[in-house]
Chains A and B, each alone.
Chain A
C-alpha cells in the first residue's frame, strides 16, 4: 500500500504552512534522508526529509500552496514492488489543503475595536505581533544608541521565536548579543548595564526560564531606585513569551503575570494585538523604570492592523476597551483578549452585549477603566490564561469589592486555567486551559441567564 506523506508540524505551535517547493518529482526514487520538499512556517523555511523508501508516486499538493494544514496528505510514496499510479490515492483524507485555523483568530482580529488614540484616516498595515515587536525594538535602537538586545539565540539564530529577526544585520554584534544559556548571569549583567547607564532589552527564550533569574528582576532591578533614595535607576526591559504555548508541558507553560505584578518597583506589560505590542514595547524601552514585558507565543504569528505612523508609542498603565457593551464586562489581557472577543461574539447572538477590557498593563493596573465599565454594566467577570489563586483575577475582584461594591448586581466571577500543572496530553491540556465557551458561560451566569 502507498505510504501517505503528511504535512509536518515543524514547531509545537505550527498549525499550517506553505508548501514552498518540491525537490523530488513524481516518479523519482526516494531514500530515507532525502530532502523531498521545503516547507515554510511563519518563522522559517524548513526542509522536509523522507524517512521511507520507495518511489514518489503522486504529489497531491502543488508547490506554492499556502495554508496547508498540518497532517494533510501532501504526497504518496509507493513501496518496493507496488503497483504504481492509479492504485491508491482514492481513500486518502481530503488532500486539498484546508485552511483550518482556530476560530478565535480571524474573529478576534476582526472584532477588535480600534484604539481611540489613533486619528481617523491613519493608514493601517497588517502586521504580525512578532514583526511589531521587532519593529519597535529596531526603531528604538535607531533612535537611541544606548539600547541593545541580549539573550539566548537573539543574534545569529535570529531569535528562538524569530522576534529579533534581522536585528543583527542592522545593528551588529555589539548591540545584538548572543548569550550563553545562563539566565541568572545574563539577567544580572543586563541589570548591571542598566545601572551603568545603558538601556538593555533582555530576552528570555520563555519566561519559564526567567525563574532562574527572578532574583535579579526583583531584588536587583525593581528595588534599586527605592533603596538608593532615587539615586540609581534601572531602565531595562525583560521580555519574552509567557503563558501556555502548545503541548510543551508543565515546566514550559506558565503565566507569570501575577508574580511580577505583585512587585512594587516593576512595570508589567502584557499586550494582545500587534499595535499594542509595538506601541507598548516602544514605551517600555523608553521607560526609566524596569519593565517586565510578557508576550505570548501563540499570538506571535497572528496579524493585526498597526497604524502606519512615524513613532507609535502608547501610554503605560492604560487599559483599552476592545469591545463596547452594556450588559456585562469581561476583563482580560494577553491571549485571553482573543478568547473574550470570541465569547462576546457568541453572547451577542444570544442577546447579551458584553464589554471587553484589555488591561494591557498589569502593573500599574488601570483600575479606573475597570470600575467605570463596572458602573456601566454592573456585572463583571475576569478571563485569565493562568492559575486562579493569587491571580490578576483575584486582584480585580478585590478592587471591585473595595471600590465598586455598590455597582455590583452579581458576584464577580473569574475564569482561569484549572488549578493544576499544565498536562501534556492534548485532551487534558484543553481541559486545563480557559476557552471562549467557559468565558461565555460565566458571563451568562452573572447575567442570570
Chain B
C-alpha cells in the first residue's frame, strides 16, 4: 500500500507507479521560484497580512463579534500567495470553498470590507448577507466563497468553460480541501474538464484533516495528485509550506493550461494550525504535532529565513509586521464600528428582476 510521505513534498523518485508526471518533472527541474527581493518582500507582506488578519478574526470571534462558522487560514498562507501571485488578474478567475479569507486577501482586496463582512455589517463585501463562507468579488474575478464542500469544483469547471467559450485566454484556479477531494462531483468535473480540455487548475489544499478526520482515515489514496489519473489529468505534488515552491509549481501548471493542454491537478501539502473552524477544539491531533509544523515548516518563518539570507534585516521585516498590525487593527475597528445592514436589506437582492 502506498504510504503518504511523512513530510510534505518528499522525493518523487520513488513514485514510479504514477504515469502522468510530466509536469512534476518540469517542476522538479526548477523547484523554487527565483523571486526578486521585491517579490519576496511582497510575498512576505501578503502572507503576514493573512496571518495577522486571521489571528484578529479569531480574537473577534472569541469576543462574539463574528458569529456562525469561521474557518481560519493560518498555516496555509503560502498556497494562496504562491498560486495567486502567478495569475493574470486581467483574465483569470478563482473559486474556493468556505476557508476563503486568505484567497481574498491575496487579491489585495481591502481587509476592512472582508472583516466587516465577518462581523455582518453593511459595509461588508456582501453587504453583511454572506458572512465568512460567502464572499465574492466579481471585480477581481473571485467567484467565492462556497459553503457546500466540493461545490466550488464543479462551479470552477463552469468558470473554465466560460473562459474557453469566450476564448479570453483566462484560466480558472479552483481550490478545494483534502476533505472535498472525496466528493463525487469533483470527479464528475475532472471527467468533463479533461473531456472538454477546459482551462482549469484544480488545487487540493491538503491540510491533512477533513474537519477532524485525518486524510489517512478518510482517503484510500492520500496522494491526491494521483487522483486525476483515471481522467488523464497530470498531477503535481507541491510543498504548500514554501511559497517559492508553490509559485514555481504555479508557473509550470499555468503554462500547461494556457498552452491549451487541458486541466492540471495540483496537491499542495500544507497544515492548518487552528481547528477546522473556531468551534473545533482540535482534540484529534497532538499539541506536539502542531508545534512541529510551526517550528519546522512555517511558511512565513521559512520565507523570513530566505529574506535574511538575501540580506534583509530583522528590523526591516519587523517594520513590515508593524505596518500590517496597524492595518489589521484598523480593519477590526472598522468592522466593529460600522453599522449593521438596515432592516430593509432583508428583502433586497433575492431576485435581480421584478416580476
Contact = CB atoms under 8 A, between A and B. Distances in A.
Interface of A: 148, 174, 177, 179-180, 182, 184-198, 200, 215-216, 219-220, 224-233, 264-265, 267, 287-289, 315-317, 361, 364
A188 B157 contact: yes
B191 A188 contact: no
B58 interface: no
Given A196-B159, A287-B353, A231 B126 contact: yes
A185 B157 contact: yes
Contact of B158 (A182, A184, A192, A364): A192
Interface string B28-55: 0000000000000000000000000000
B353 A288 contact: yes
A219 B154 contact: no
Contacts of B196: 177
Given A188-B158, A196-B143, A219-B148, A231 B136 contact: yes
A231 B138 contact: yes
A188 B163 contact: no
A195 B130 CA distance: 16
Contacts of B161: 189, 192-193, 196, 198
B185 A188 contact: yes
A264 B143 contact: no
B125 A189 contact: no
A361 B351 CA distance: 15
Contacts of B143: 192, 195-196, 232
B109 interface: no
B93 interface: yes
Contact of B134 (A193, A227, A233): A227
B263 interface: no
B188 interface: yes
Contact of A230 (B153, B158, B349): B349
| Secondary structure dominating the interface of B | mixed
Contact of B184 (A184, A219, A226): A184
7 contacts: A182-B191, A185-B157, A192-B143, A192-B154, A198-B166, A225-B352, A228-B130
A180 B191 contact: yes
Contacts of B147: 219
B162 interface: yes
A317 B351 CA distance: 13
Given A198-B165, A219-B147, A264 B350 contact: yes
A184 B183 CA distance: 11
A264 B349 CA distance: 10
Interface in B129-148: 129-130, 134-138, 143-148
B192 A179 contact: yes
B95 interface: yes
A54 to B, nearest CB: 48
B151 A215 contact: yes
Nearest to A215: B148
B148 A220 contact: yes
A100 B82 CA distance: 70
B86 interface: no
A232 B192 CA distance: 24
A179 B196 CA distance: 10
Nearest to A200: B158
B165 A315 contact: no
Given A191-B158, A228-B130, A315-B355, 10 more contacts: A184-B184, A188-B158, A189-B189, A193-B158, A196-B93, A228-B129, A267-B351, A289-B353, A316-B355, A361-B355
Contacts of A184: 154, 184-185, 188
B195 interface: yes
Contacts of A192: 95, 143, 154-162
B348 interface: yes
B351 A189 contact: no
Nearest to A221: B155
B349 A195 contact: no
B137 A231 contact: yes
B340 to A, nearest CB: 13
Q: Of residues B137, B166, B355, which shows the largest number of chain A Cβ atoms within 10 Å of its Cβ?
A: B355
Contacts of B350: 225-226, 264-265
Contact of B154 (A148, A189, A288, A361): A189
B258 interface: no
A182 B355 contact: no
Nearest to A193: B158
A195 B151 contact: no
B325 interface: no
A63 B126 CA distance: 66
